[in-house]
Structure 1
Amino acid sequence: MQQARILIVDDAATVRLYHRTILEEAGFAVEEAVNGIEALERALLQPFDLYLVDINMPKLDGYGFLRELRGQDLPQVPAIMISTEAKSQDQHLAYIAGANYYLIKPIKPRELILACRILLGYGGSA
Structure 2
Amino acid sequence: MTGKSILVVDDGITIRLFYRDVLEAAGFTVAEAANGVEGLERALLDRFDLMIVDVNMPKMNGYELVRQVRDDPALRSIPIVTISTEEKEEDALRAYRAGANLYVVKPVRPDELAATARLLTGGAA
Report the 3-state secondary structure (helix = DSSP H, G, I; strand = E; otherwise coil) of the residue aligned with 1:107: coil
CA apart distance, 1:78: 0.4
Aligned equivalent of 2:111: 110
Asked if the contact 2:3–2:27 (Cα under 8 Å) also holds between the matched residues in 1, the reply is yes
Indicate whether 1:82 and 2:83 are aligned: yes
Q: Aligned pairs, how many?
A: 124
TM-score, normalised to structure 1's length?
A: 0.94
CA RMSD of aligned residues (A): 1.2
CA apart distance, 1:2: 5.5
Aligned equivalent of 1:30: 30
For 2:54, the aligned partner's letter is D
Work out the percentage of aligned pairs sharing the same amino acid: 50
Indicate whether 1:19 and 2:19 are aligned: yes
2: distance between equivalents of 1:4 and 1:35?
22
2: distance between equivalents of 1:114 and 1:92?
23
- Runs of 4+ residues over 6 Å off in structure 1: none
Give structure 2 stretches of 5+ with no counterpart: none
CA apart distance, 1:103: 1.1
Aligned equivalent of 2:72: 72
TM-score, normalised to structure 2's length?
A: 0.95
2: distance between equivalents of 1:37 and 1:47?
17
Asked if the contact 1:47–1:74 (Cα under 8 Å) also holds between the matched residues in 2, the reply is no
1: distance between equivalents of 2:56 and 2:98?
14
1: distance between equivalents of 2:46 and 2:109?
29
